[in-house]
Amino acid sequence: MKFLIIIPTHNEEKNILFTLKSLDQQKFQDFFCVVVNDGSTDKTQEIVEEFIKDNLKFKIENLAVSAHEPGAKVVRTFNQGLNSVDLKEFDIICKFDADIIFPSDYLKKVNQVYETQPKAGMVSGIVKIKKSIFEQALIFDFKDEKHQWKFENISSKNHIRGPIKSYRKECFLDMNGLRPVLGWDNIDVMLAKKNGWETVTIKDLWVKHLRPTAYQYQNQKAEKLGEYFYNIGLNLPLTMISSGKSSFKNKSLVEFFTTMKSFLKQKAERSLSTEEIKYIRNLRWQQMFNRN
């Protein structure tokens, strides 16, 4: 199978070279990588162009800087990379972040799942983040004998995380691509399942994430949660229950009211169809009743 890897990037001069080198060192080499530079103002473009100048497996698409929109921005940047190639040439579509370091057998193991499990529509490893320090000399070492990396515990190990998405092309087309909204990286999983595809995480295969996910949004977490609930199509009862569970977990009544206020003020047209919203609502109810 041939992989198309798209890396949306903005001001990643500190990390992008690690990502590119780790991809270049893959044991599985049947891939083509598009770095989509979204108007970086640092040395990102210069670093990428220097790295790829003699490497035909990589190319760069340079865009003018776009408006900052959590969720929407990264998908639109990704789509620019998607539109720059002929999808007929590829079997697997990947959306990778520009601050990820992959073990050398990452693509090989992901490819093995796609080859042996015909219903696998999405596949990934798991994501780890650094502890307080890590040694630069061990940047490409995944034995982690000094235990400098820990699981990024913001979702279960069964969830395919936004920084390391991969899709069988047929699955990607069945769910009509990625939706440019906050929450796209949960919507895709639900739509894959809606279309009869399975999602697979390889739990003994991990990548290094050089920055915690959405670290810049922590102070707006409750507001973003309300927007997310709206974007995935939840109705008022589901949102109240989901918000209540989150605020109870975080022991914050203020979070509940902030999330609900954010949800109720959303007016934009949803990117999901009526049929997709119905499926997601039913799925959420099932998940609540099935949990112990």
Within 8 A by CB and 6+ apart from 4, the residues are: 31, 32, 34, 82, 85, 87, 89, 90, 92, 93, 94
Q: State the CB neighbour count (10 A cutoff) for residue 233.
A: 22
Amino acid 221: pLDDT: 86
Amino acid 237: pLDDT: 96
Amino acid 153: pLDDT: 81
Q: State the CB neighbour count (10 A cutoff) for residue 149.
A: 19
Amino acid 249: pLDDT: 87
Amino acid 137: pLDDT: 86
For residue 239, what are its two tokens?
């949102």
Amino acid 213: pLDDT: 66
CA atoms within 13 A on the CB side of 283: 17
Q: What is the pTM of this model?
A: 0.92
Amino acid 291: pLDDT: 59
Amino acid 132: pLDDT: 75
Count, residues in the chain: 292
Q: What is the mean pLDDT for each group of 10 consecutive residues in the chain (292 residues)? A: 97 96 97 96 96 94 78 91 96 97 98 98 96 82 90 87 97 96 94 97 96 59 93 96 91 94 94 96 88 53
Quickly list DSSP for 218-255. Answer: GGGHHHHHHHHHHHTT--HHHHHHHHHHHHHHTT-HHH
Q: CA 5, CA 177: separation in Å to the nearest integer?
A: 15
Amino acid 68: pLDDT: 67
Amino acid 287: pLDDT: 84
Contact in structure between 9 and 20 (CB atoms under 8 Å):
no
Closest CA to 36 of 96, 86, 91, 80: 80
Closest CA to 177 of 113, 95, 111: 95
Amino acid 216: pLDDT: 46
